[in-house]
Amino acid sequence: MIARYTPPAGKTLHIVGQDLGAVAGYVEHVWSTPGGVTTYTGLSEGEADMLHRLSCTVNYGAGDVNAQE
């Protein structure tokens, strides 16, 4: 059985990241859509919605990140 994101034999799943600027720069200069992107987020106990940072733009000091963009 092949996993959902396993590339075919002889192929590679190319994932880029971490911040919005890096992903945009890659797409602009390489002219290719990556197979996936990575991002950072923070989860803190006690917050009403611990996953809210996945749907807004935040910056942890290394560039803007937003899992929805």
Residue 39's domain comprises: 15-63
Structure tokens belonging to residue 2: 């092949």
Note whether residue 1 is domain-resident: no
DSSP assignment, residue 8? P
- Whole-number average pLDDT of the chain: 80
Q: Is residue 61 pLDDT above 80, yes or no?
A: yes
Note whether residue 58 is domain-resident: yes
Per-residue pLDDT, averaged over 37-66, amounts to 76
Structure tokens belonging to residue 68: 């929805």
Distance CA 29, CA 19 (A): 16
pTM of the model: 0.65
Distance CA 19, CA 24 (A): 9
CA-only gyration radius of the chain, Å: 15
Residue 50's H or E segment, with its range, is: none
Per-residue pLDDT, averaged over 2-29, amounts to 85
Tally of structural domains, the chain: 1
